[in-house]
Amino acid sequence: MSIAAVSSPSKLHQIKTLISVASTVNHLKQIHASLIHHDHHHDTYLVNLLLKRTLFFRENHYSSLLFSHTQFPNIFLYNTLINGLVNNSLFRETLDLFLSVRKHHGLSLYGFTFPFVLKACIRSQNLTLGIELHPLVVKCGFNRDAGAMTSLLSLYSGSGRVDDARKVFDEMPERTIVSWTAFFSGCISSGKHGDAIGLFKKMVESGVRPDSYSVVRVLSACVQVGDLDSAEWIANLVEEIEMQKNSYVNTTLVNLYTKRGKMEKARSVFDSMGEKDAVTWSTMIQGYASNSLPKEGVELFHQMLREDLKPDQYSIVGFLSSCASLGALDLGEWGSGLIDRDEFLTNLVMGNALIDMYAKCGDMTRGFQVFKDMKEKDRVIMNTAITGLAKNGHVKLSFAVFGQTEKLGISPDGYTFLGLLCGCVHAGLIQDGLRFFNSISSVYSLKRTVEHYGCMVDLWGRAGQLSEAYRLICDMPMKPNAIIWGALLTGCRLVKETRLAERVLKELIALEPWNAGNYVQLSNIYSVNGRWDEAAEVREEMNKKGMKKLPGWSWIELEGTVHEFLADDKSHPLSDKIYAKLEDLGNEMRLMGFVPTTECVMFDVEEEEKETVLGYHSEKLAVALGLISTGHGEVIRVVKNLRVCGDCHEAMKLISKITRREIVVRDNNRFHCFTNGTCSCNDYW
């Protein structure tokens, strides 16, 4: 077709069609060449059509040349170019063009699309320029334009000027979902999460239907402040407006429920989702790990693999955390093998999870090797290594790691010293403990926490120096809490100071009236001293309040399966063999002169019955299963949720000698590595 004469409407329509259907930039260039040949390249209407199309193809350089060679560009061409540059994310170029127009061309600004210019200010972080444009927006009459006002609202919110944003919001003639969301997003960015939640509720009350983005934003605010009531109200709203199929909303709900420990609700939302991405799976797996449901976390990780989803760093971190809680070393090793080793050594979060898993599974030798191989180290990694080494009995090595922090330019924090002090507690290193405790404030100008004081009370108490421990409590700058009294109670138990222990437990009961363990220990003290009536009164008080003692569980992992035991548990399929093994071991221990420590069972029962109860504690059942299920030379690893009792501790030492097996038991306090009749804790725990 010839472009010689374009004055007729039909010819204009044909050229417009040619431009709109052009499938490549070369086609547009051919049309442009024809316009130049016939001297129509200054026709602003045709140039505007070409400009829009070249911008659509993101040919930004050609678009700028096309614009610059137009003899008399009008306001519509400027609008087209500005809008196109913004849509192509060329925000700085947009602002340069805008400023050039204002400075050199003197064109009326009325025709400019202010929302696009303001958007460029937001995206280029040129908030000052955007705010300076506010008077111009009003002057040009765009204070009635919802798009321009919403952009101004976003500018003020994004720069933290929430009060100014509120003024713009109040002056808006029409508030769309975009403007509402811009305002409460600004509140969230400024840390005013409660205001954002309140605005969302007002928006719904005003009849504006929320979209998925606004729901996700406000649910995230609920997560930040722990506002579960508002979050559940929003969750119900989501169901009412039939938005529950939106994966972003569902993932946010899963995250919210896991953060608040509502794992059943989180799982319900998770199971209702048709499609789940890696983020959703990871959120759920990490939720189980952080809410003391490690078995469920491991099972869900396996389910994810069965659905052919490759684990990412977050799901593998959640899985390793679950393995750490279960003491499932082999399972953790297998899971870490699904990810290239170099990723662990270059990713601080993954590397930290792997070191922590080894530490909590009692294999700090491999954990320390990972620590040494890390390409980069930060404070979190250092703290994990220090704590892991200390709790595994490598206290001096943890001191050496601490010495590396200054060489690496890493400043210690309160957690660093907490790990060091825990090591001193377990090793009975009073002088080292005092040195670290004093240096917290005197050398590093850090604030001592109640946990630091708790470690020192524990350190003095375990050494039998209860008067020093009590003096420290009296000199504390804060009121002693359950951590402090619990540490003193440990010392009382070790040196059998029942009078002070009785006073301490009464303090604990006053602080934690819901904690059944305190009542149990007070009852036990009365029982040890033959004060059976008083022990019975305490038990009766527990019954009236509906309290129950936390049961002692033990876990052992064998070939990827975690087995759980309670005391006197006969639910395991191999119970007959387990009990037969314990009977054989008991006979051999008696021949070696072993006498059960019946004082560990603080109930008013006959001696023979006490021996029976002791013989079948959960950790002994788990060790027996390990002995009958593994080959000679394999290490047996058991995890217990409570402190190992004195009788089990003595028995484990003899079992390790009889079977010539290494037995590692992690209780809620530390690791015990039993080999050839001795324990790594040196009977100090």
Q: What is the pLDDT of residues 115-137, one digit of tens each?
A: 777 777 766 666 666 677 777 77
> Tell me, what's the pLDDT at 605?
41
Residue 486 has pLDDT above 50, yes or no: yes
Tens of pLDDT, residues 275-287: 888 899 999 999 9
Q: Out of 81-85, 537-541, 592-596, 609-613, pick the least confident.
A: 609-613
Q: For the whole prediction, is pTM greater than 0.75?
A: no
| Stronger pLDDT, 75 or 373, i.e. the higher one | 373
Residue 217 has pLDDT above 50, yes or no: yes
Calculate mean pLDDT across residues 582-588: 92
Tens of pLDDT, residues 300-347: 999 999 999 999 999 999 999 999 999 899 999 999 999 998 999 999
> Tell me, what's the pLDDT at 522?
82
What is the set of domains in the chain, with CATH numbers? 275-376 (1.25.40), 449-544 (1.25.40.10), 554-679 (no CATH)
On whether the CB atoms of residues 626 and 556 are closer than 8 A, the answer is yes
Read off the pLDDT band of 645 (50, 70, 90).
confident
> Tell me, what's the pLDDT at 111?
45
CA dist list (Å): 411 to 76, 239, 378, 399, 402: 59, 48, 9, 15, 10
Sheet holding 678-679, edge to edge: 561-565, 554-558, 636-640, 663-666, 671-675, 678-679
Beta bridge partners of 563: 556
| Stronger pLDDT, 17 or 448, i.e. the higher one | 448
Who contacts 475 (Cβ-Cβ below 8 Å, separation ≥6)? none
Tens of pLDDT, residues 194-203: 989 999 999 9
Q: What percent of the chain has pLDDT over 70?
A: 85
> Tell me, what's the pLDDT at 1?
44
Tell me the C-alpha distance between 88 and 589, whole Å: 80
Q: Out of 9-18, 211-220, 596-605, 617-626, pick the least confident.
A: 596-605
Mean pLDDT of the chain: 84
> Tell me, what's the pLDDT at 244?
60
Burial 120-138 (b: 16+ CB within 10 A, else e): bbbbbebbebbbebbeebe
> Tell me, what's the pLDDT at 348?
96
> Tell me, what's the pLDDT at 287?
95
| Stronger pLDDT, 308 or 160, i.e. the higher one | 308
Tell me the C-alpha distance between 41 and 27, whole Å: 16
| Stronger pLDDT, 644 or 612, i.e. the higher one | 644
> Tell me, what's the pLDDT at 76?
74
Read off the pLDDT band of 47 (50, 70, 90).
confident
Tell me the C-alpha distance between 665 and 673, whole Å: 7
> Tell me, what's the pLDDT at 203?
92
> Tell me, what's the pLDDT at 607?
41
Least Cα distance to 459 among 438, 442, 441, 444 occurs for 438
Q: What percent of the chain has pLDDT over 90?
A: 39
* Conformation bin of residue 479: beta by default, left when phi > 0, alpha when psi is -120 to 50: beta
> Tell me, what's the pLDDT at 249?
82
Query: Amino acid letter at 244?
Result: Q
> Tell me, what's the pLDDT at 71?
63
Residue 36 has pLDDT above 80, yes or no: no
Calculate mean pLDDT across residues 411-434: 94
Who contacts 47 (Cβ-Cβ below 8 Å, separation ≥6)? 41, 66, 67, 70, 77
> Tell me, what's the pLDDT at 440?
96
> Tell me, what's the pLDDT at 13?
60
Tell me the C-alpha distance between 347 and 496, whole Å: 48
> Tell me, what's the pLDDT at 282?
95
Beta bridge partners of 671: 666
What sign has the CA pseudo-torsion 264, 269, 270, 272?
Answer: positive
Tell me the C-alpha distance between 462 and 500, whole Å: 14
Q: Cite the DSSP H helix spans in 6-140.
A: 9-21, 25-37, 44-56, 60-68, 75-87, 91-100, 114-123, 127-132, 134-139
Residue 602 has pLDDT above 70, yes or no: no
Burial 320-350 (b: 16+ CB within 10 A, else e): bbbbbbbbbbebbbebbeebeeeebbebbeb
> Tell me, what's the pLDDT at 49?
75
Calculate mean pLDDT across residues 385-389: 95
Residue 221 has pLDDT above 80, yes or no: yes
| CA 128 centroid distance within chain | 35
Beta bridge partners of 433: none
Tell me the C-alpha distance between 583 and 467, whole Å: 44
Read off the pLDDT band of 291 (50, 70, 90).
very high
Residue 105 has pLDDT above 60, yes or no: no
> Tell me, what's the pLDDT at 502?
86
Read off the pLDDT band of 59 (50, 70, 90).
confident
